[in-house]
Each structure stands twice: as C-alpha cells, then as structure tokens.
C-alpha cells in the first residue's frame, strides 16, 4: 500500500506548482526539499536578479534625467541599501513558497535530501515513502567548467552572488548569456567595473537584429565586452582574480562570476535505483514529461529533458510543465508539451524578448514560406515621447499570415511578450485589427502586422473595386 499518492522531489517553481495542484485535487502529497523553499527562482535566480536590475535601472534613469530637463545630480549608490532591496524582495515573496503555506494545504513537507531506493519508493530524512507516482523537480545548478586554475581561486555563481556583502570593484563575468548580461548591466549601472568574457557572441540564442541595440546599451553602460574570447586559465592576482585568454589577453578583477550555463541536479537522486533514465541534459521523458523508463515517474522544470525538445530553464516553463503533468498524471488525459509559443525575456535595458522560434530557427527547420515584417520603435509615438526609440518589433509569419515567431528589442518590451504568445498560430489580422490604446509601445506590433495586408489592400483590383463602389448611393 503506497504511503503517498504523489511524491515530489524539489520545492522550486516546478515542484511547488505540481504539489499545489495535486493537493488541491485531494491527493496525498509528500514534498521533499533539501535547501531553501522556493528553489532558485526565489532565492538565487529570477527574484534577486530582477531586484538588482531594478536598482541598476533606477540609477540609469537618474543619469538619464537631464535629457528631460530634470537635474537630480549623479546618483550615489548605497550598497547596503541595494542589498536590503534585493533581500526585501525575496522576503516579501517567500511566504508564498513557504513550508507553512504548503503544510496548510495538507502536504507533508519534508526538509531533507530525497533519493529513489526502488522504482516505487523514495527515502528521505531516514524514512521510506512508497509512492503511487513521483515527480522529480530537482532543478539545475550553475555549470563549473573545467578551466585550469579555477579550483584555486574564489569564484561566484548565482547561488553566492546575491549574498556578497561588499560591492564588487571589478566584476569579471565568464559567459554572455542571460545571466551574464543581466548581472553585467545591473552591476555596471550600480557603479562597478564589469567585464564580460564570452566564447562566441553575447545573447547568441537571440535574434541577431535584437542583439545590436543590447550590445550598444551595454557598451554605453561601461561594460567591457570580450566576444569570441577563449579562456585559457584563471589565476590569483593582486586585484583578486585574473582571467587569462588564449590570445594572451589578461583581465584582472576583484570578483569572478561564472555564468556559462546550467547542469541538471542529478546527484543524490538515486535515479538508477528508481529505474529512471537520464542523460547529461536531465531526466529523459516523453512529451507528457513521463519518464521513458519508469512509468510511475514524471519530471518537471529545469531537470526535465523531453524528447525532441530538450530542457528549458524558465520559471514559466515550470508552471507549463505542472499543467502538462496534471493533465497526464492526475486526469489521465492525453498531454503533449510544445514550445511553439514559448516566450522568454532577457530583462536588460533594452529588454530582448523572443516568442516562439526565431527566423533562423524556422529556416533551419526547413521553413521557406516565411514573411518577415518589421516595425522600428523609432516610429512609435509613446517611445518618442519617452525618449526611448531604440529597438524594433520583428514578426515572422507563414504565407497565410499566421504568426510563427516574434522578436522584440526595446525598453520594456518584455511586457508585450504575453500578447505575442497568445498570437502564435493566429492570423495577423487579429493584431492588425485590434483596437489598442494610444499611445502605447504595443502599437508597433499592430503596425508591423498591418504591413502584411497593406500590399493586398492597395492592390489594383481593390482600387478598381473602390472606384466602382464610389458610384453607389
Ligand atoms: C540568475 C538567474 C536568473 C533567472 N531569471 C529568470 C527569469 O527572469 N525568468 C525565468 O523565467 N527564469 C529565470 N531563471 C530560471 C529559473 O530560475 C529556473 O528555470 C527555475 O527556478 C527552475 O525551477 P525548478 O523548480 O526546475 O528548479 P529549482 O528552483 O532549482 O528547484 C529545485 C529544488 O530541488 C531541490 N533538490 C534538488 N535535489 C534534491 C534532492 N535530492 N532532495 C531534495 N531536494 C532536492 C533543490 O534544493 C531546489 O530547491 C533564472 C535563473 C537564474 C540562475
Ligand atoms: N530572463 C530570464 O528568463 C533568465 C535570466 C537568467 C537565466 N535564465 C535561464 O538560465 C539559463 C542559464 O543562463 P546562462 O546565462 O548561465 O547560460 P547560457 O547557456 O544561456 O549562456 C552561457 C554563455 O556562456 C558562454 N560560455 C560557455 N562556456 C564559456 C567559456 N568557457 N568561456 C566563455 N564563455 C563561455 C556560452 O557561449 C553562452 O553564450 C538560461 O538559458 C535561461 O534559461 C533566464
């Protein structure tokens, strides 16, 4: 007889979502967490990084104010105040993810490391829990690459960066993906020297047309970008730490941050004992997020490696996964994961948002029926009024005008991502015909969508028809 209906390993965004749904539907749930409730997003990820960015953006706004005729002087950064804001944001959200709240839902929250000891049993805190179904939501951690010398120098990851008591004098960041870039801009705007060392090019996954404005903004913020740079080794330096490049270059700083990607937390899970197949990218699942080898087990969040799609490390993907698991595991309905309309936003200034695939990804998948529509933000009245005209909206549609992907760059464009996520697969006429409030940045997308129909609307047959219609009474 199983002890619990659902056993969940990990109380991050994914595990908490599955736990709340399962308990809400009356199932007996055990939730295992060895670290902080709320996982990465709350404690070491989205929340502190966005809070730090908010502080950096506030400083940048103060520096920008003279262009409006407003002179507040150069901002003074009080690092203790910045830290208080970051940790205040975590504390304000923490009750939502707390053990007390989840115990209040009737969930057995066990603060211990959990591991499979059989295909239908988990051990944690010295107790064995036989389960009907299990969900592995153990997340991912920062990759520590095999760079010579790294073991001998102090370095930061997302788990230690936000706990740093002192303001870094010169933050050297290895990796120019979303973590590296968000943290580079936040620290630069808060008065730190920042260098980013990127092996390929910054924001390499993003639409190249969107990366240009971001690169220009980072350089304007004073971030030293070293793209196409190969790290040969790291070593101690009188400044703190130095990164030596393969071309002989040397970048010395006070602090080193690693932001070179994520690896699934597969350690300590006893996946072999559970008969749960996994690979270097995570737990192998089908598109219903069910383990390919143990049909009692599902995976959710960063640790899931669904066949053909691969892992995606976003908090909103965790809730998408929870919905898929609820459908398949609890309701026994067909469930199939798709990232066709998945949004993602890098919260730099300007923000970069991608909804669905990029043009390059669609072309690589063999799509040759694409219509590309662009609208520069320089022609948007609201952004002109606010002095933030850099950026663009780029829409990729099929021949019939159905939206396949959208790429945005500009101030605050992340707030528009939801609208495009709803638009994926729909005709652009929905957006072109929508009545949007004036003046808003969203109008740029409506104008881009409208361009799909303009040539048809102004065609000779339509003009002829209008010519005849004018004679009607
Ligand atoms: C700096 C940074 C910024 C980010 N910003 C954003 C953002 O703005 N927007 C966004 O959508 N995403 C963002 N992300 C990604 C987002 O944080 C992750 O996708 C999300 O937190 C993953 O949630 P999860 O539940 O899969 O894993 P986690 O949050 O890592 O939770 C897994 C939990 O499992 C526990 N655990 C692991 N093994 C065991 C075990 N054996 N027994 C018991 N417990 C165990 C861990 O302690 C952990 O608490 C960011 C990430 C980082 C690092
Ligand atoms: N705003 C958001 O939604 C947000 C923010 C932060 C993180 N995240 C999630 O976390 C994930 C991880 O972010 P990340 O930035 O750590 O990883 P990433 O994989 O997105 O980027 C890592 C970068 O490091 C570079 N790199 C790797 N090894 C290197 C080396 N030895 N020297 C120099 N450069 C090297 C890569 O070329 C790549 O550009 C993201 O993919 C995303 O899913 C999301």
Pocket test for ligand 2, best of 161, 174, 243, 261 (most atoms within 8 A of CB): 261
Q: What is the SS3 assignment for 370?
A: coil
In DSSP notation, 228-264 reads: TPPEEEEEEETTEEEEEETTS-EEEESEEEE-S-EEE
Cβ 381 vs Cβ 438: under 8 Å: yes
Q: Whole-prediction pTM value?
A: 0.97
| Residues contacting 380, CB < 8 A, separation 6+ | 389, 439, 441, 443, 444
Pocket test for ligand 1, best of 18, 41, 259, 344 (most atoms within 8 A of CB): 41
- The C-alpha torsion from 103 through 108 and 111 to 113, rounded to 10°, is -150
Q: Name the CATH superfamily housing domain 4-37+98-142+263-330.
A: FAD/NAD(P)-binding domain (3.50.50.60)
Q: What is the pLDDT of residue 72?
A: 85
Ligand positioned closest to the Cα atom of 49: 1
For 150-260, which CATH class?
Answer: alpha beta
CA of 179 to the centre of ligand 2 (A): 6
Q: Strand (E) positions, 85-181? A: 108-110, 114-118, 121-124, 127-136, 140-142, 170-174
Q: What is the pLDDT of residue 296?
A: 98
> From the CB of 213, is ligand 2 less than 6 Å away?
no
CA angle 216, 201, 411 (to 5 degrees): 35
Ligand 1 atom closest to the Cα of residue 124 is: 42
C-alpha to C-alpha distances, 191 to 170, 184, 430, nearest whole angstrom: 9, 11, 45
Q: Do domains 4-37+98-142+263-330 and 150-260 have the same CATH topology?
A: yes
C-alpha to C-alpha distances, 217 to 160, 211, 213, 391, nearest whole angstrom: 27, 10, 6, 11
In the sheet with 304-306, reading across from the earlier edge strand, the strands are: 278-279, 282-285, 304-306
> From the CB of 258, is ligand 2 less than 6 Å away?
no
Place of tokens 């040539």: 455
Ligand 2 atom closest to the Cα of residue 143 is: 16
Q: Which residues pair with 353 in a beta bridge?
A: 345, 408
- Whole-angstrom Cα Rg for the chain: 25
Residue 151 CA, distance from chain mean position: 29
Peptide bond into 64 cis (omega under 30): no
343-454 classified as CATH 3.90.220.20: no
Per-residue tokens: 50 = 């966005």
pLDDT tens series, the chain, 473 aa: 899 999 999 999 999 999 999 999 999 999 999 999 999 999 999 999 999 999 999 999 999 999 999 998 899 999 999 999 999 999 999 999 999 999 999 999 999 999 999 999 999 999 999 999 999 999 999 999 999 999 999 999 999 999 999 999 999 999 999 999 999 999 999 999 999 999 999 999 999 999 999 999 999 999 999 999 999 999 998 889 999 999 999 999 999 999 999 999 999 999 999 999 999 999 999 999 999 999 999 999 999 999 999 999 999 999 999 999 999 999 999 999 999 999 999 999 999 999 999 999 999 999 999 999 999 999 999 999 999 999 999 999 999 999 999 999 999 999 999 999 999 999 999 999 999 999 999 999 999 999 999 998 999 999 999 999 999 99
Q: Where are the domains of the chain?
A: 4-37+98-142+263-330, 150-260, 343-454
Place of tokens 């502080």: 55
**Axis-axis angle for helices 13-24, 315-325 (nearest 10):** 30
Q: Report the candidate in 394, 404, 405 with the shortest Cα–Cα distance to residue 444.
A: 394
**Protein residues whose CB sits closer than 6 Å to any atom of ligand 1:** 9-15, 32-35, 39-41, 45-46, 49-50, 113-115, 137-139, 158, 179, 265, 268-269, 301-303, 313-316, 318, 347
């Amino acid at each position: 007889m199983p002890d619990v209906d659902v056993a969940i390993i990990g109380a991050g965004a994914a595990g908490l979502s599955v736990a709340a749904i399962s308990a809400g539907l009356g199932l007996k749930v055990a939730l295992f967490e060895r670290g902080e409730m709320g996982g990465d997003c709350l404690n070491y990820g989205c929340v502190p990084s966005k809070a730090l960015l908010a502080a950096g953006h506030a400083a940048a706004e103060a520096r920008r104010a003279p262009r409006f005729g407003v002179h507040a002087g150069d901002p003074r950064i009080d690092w203790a105040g910045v830290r208080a804001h970051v940790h205040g944001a975590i504390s304000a959200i923490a009750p939502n993810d707390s053990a007390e709240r989840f115990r209040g839902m009737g969930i057995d929250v066990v603060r211990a490391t959990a591991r499979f000891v059989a295909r239908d049993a988990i051990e944690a805190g010295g107790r064995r829990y036989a389960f009907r179904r299990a969900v592995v939501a153990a997340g991912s951690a920062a990759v520590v690459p095999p760079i010579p010398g790294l073991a001998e120098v102090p370095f930061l990851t997302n788990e230690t960066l936000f706990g740093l008591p002192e303001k870094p004098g010169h933050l050297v960041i290895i990796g120019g993906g979303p973590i590296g870039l968000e943290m580079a801009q936040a620290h630069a705007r808060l008065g730190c020297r920042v260098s980013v060392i990127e092996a390929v090019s910054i924001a390499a996954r993003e639409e190249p047309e969107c990366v240009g404005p971001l690169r220009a903004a980072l350089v304007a913020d004073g971030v030293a970008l070293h793209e196409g740079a190969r790290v040969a080794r790291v070593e101690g330096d009188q400044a703190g730490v130095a990164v030596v490049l393969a071309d002989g270059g040397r970048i010395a700083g006070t602090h080193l941050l690693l932001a070179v990607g994520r690896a699934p937390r597969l350690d300590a899970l006893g996946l072999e004992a559970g008969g749960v197949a996994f690979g270097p990218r995570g737990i192998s699942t089908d598109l219903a997020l069910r383990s390919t080898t143990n049909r009692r087990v599902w995976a959710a969040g960063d640790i899931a490696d669904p066949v053909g799609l691969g892992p995606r490390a976003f908090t909103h993907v965790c809730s998408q996964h929870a919905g898929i698991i609820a459908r398949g595991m609890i309701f026994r309905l067909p469930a199939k994961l798709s990232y066709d309309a998945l949004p993602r936003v890098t919260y730099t200034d300007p923000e970069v948002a991608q909804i669905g695939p990029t043009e390059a990804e669609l072309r690589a998948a063999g799509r040759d029926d694409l219509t590309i529509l662009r609208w520069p933000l320089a022609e948007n009245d609201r952004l002109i009024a606010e002095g933030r005209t850099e950026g663009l909206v780029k829409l990729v549609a099929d021949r019939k005008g159905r939206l396949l992907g959208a790429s945005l760059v500009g101030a605050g464009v992340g707030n528009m991502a939801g609208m495009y996520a709803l638009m994926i697969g729909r005709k652009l006429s929905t957006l072109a015909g929508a009545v949007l409030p004036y003046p808003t940045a969203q109008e740029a997308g409506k104008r881009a969508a409208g361009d799909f129909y303009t040539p048809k609307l102004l065609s000779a047959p339509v003009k002829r028809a209008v010519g005849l219609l004018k004679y009607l009474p």
